[in-house]
């Protein structure tokens, strides 16, 4: 199986704009499957500017990722990056990765419990079972094929973002509804135990 890393981003084609609005739960755009992106569309200056805006909005909101339909564009595109993120201080860093038309394939049946939140579901967290090992196939922002594997807590981040492109929110995958809590309650009651689980995942999977 080949492994391909993302290419360096090109410089923005124009000065940064204001962050895009982020759709909140209840917006219909969050519940439709995003359409695939054609190569001609992807390589257009307009779509490249949109990718720049998607990344800038993710950074502004301090998200670990952002899907296109979260900013009211139902296309198969998402951005993922963790770089010493204060919103998720326990998450290992993930280099900036743009996925176009992504397909995820579990590499085993093993799953782990991931405490998740979402920029489109304000002030709510819950436990979601996620696959521990994935093969990721997609195009990068330039249209080049990507084919790589992710594991551990990082695999959970990829599943969360690609779920958005399928019209799903993390709430749809919460099996134990008693795990739902506000961010404040998570910090007070759940975070220490979850940090320990994350450390064990990173020790086992390296991410």
CA gap 108, 193 in Å, rounded: 25
- Measured in degrees and rounded to the nearest 5, phi and psi for residue 77 equal -150, 140
Active site residue 10: no
76 secondary structure, DSSP code: S
| Torsion angle defined by CA atoms of residues 77, 80, 86 and 90, in that order, rounded to the nearest 10 degrees | 130
Angle at the Cα of 43 from the Cα atoms of 2 and 68, rounded to 5 degrees: 80
- Measured in degrees and rounded to the nearest 5, phi and psi for residue 130 equal -130, 150
Place of tokens 């090992």: 133
The one catalytic residue in 18, 36, 161, 199 is: 161
Both tokens of 159, joined, read: 């599943």
Sign of the Cα pseudo-torsion (166, 167, 169, 175, in order):
negative
Burial code (b: 16+ CB inside 10 Å, e: under 16) for 60-95 equals eeebbbbbbbbbebbbbbbbbbbeebeebeebbebe
Catalytic site residues?
Answer: 161
């Amino acid at each position: 199986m080949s492994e391909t890393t993302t290419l360096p981003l090109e410089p923005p084609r124009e000065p940064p704009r204001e962050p895009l609005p982020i759709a909140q739960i209840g917006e219909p755009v969050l519940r439709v499957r995003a359409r695939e992106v054609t190569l001609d569309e992807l390589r257009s200056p307009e779509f490249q500017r949109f990718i720049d805006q998607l990344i800038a909005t993710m950074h502004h909101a301090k998200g670990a990722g952002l899907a296109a339909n979260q900013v009211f564009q139902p296309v198969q595109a998402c951005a993922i990056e963790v770089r010493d993120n204060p919103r998720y201080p326990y998450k290992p860093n993930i280099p900036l990765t743009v996925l176009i038309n992504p397909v995820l394939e579990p590499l085993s049946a093993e799953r782990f419990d991931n405490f998740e939140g979402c920029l489109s579901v304000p002030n709510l967290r819950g436990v979601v079972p996620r696959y521990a090992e994935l093969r990721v196939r997609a195009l990068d922002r330039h249209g080049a094929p990507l084919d790589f594997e992710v594991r551990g807590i990082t695999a959970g981040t990829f599943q969360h973002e690609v779920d958005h492109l399928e019209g799903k929110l993390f709430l749809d995958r919460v099996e134990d509804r008693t795990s739902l809590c506000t961010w404040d309650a998570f910090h007070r009651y759940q975070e220490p135990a979850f940090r320990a689980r994350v450390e064990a995942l990173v020790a086992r999977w390296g991410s």
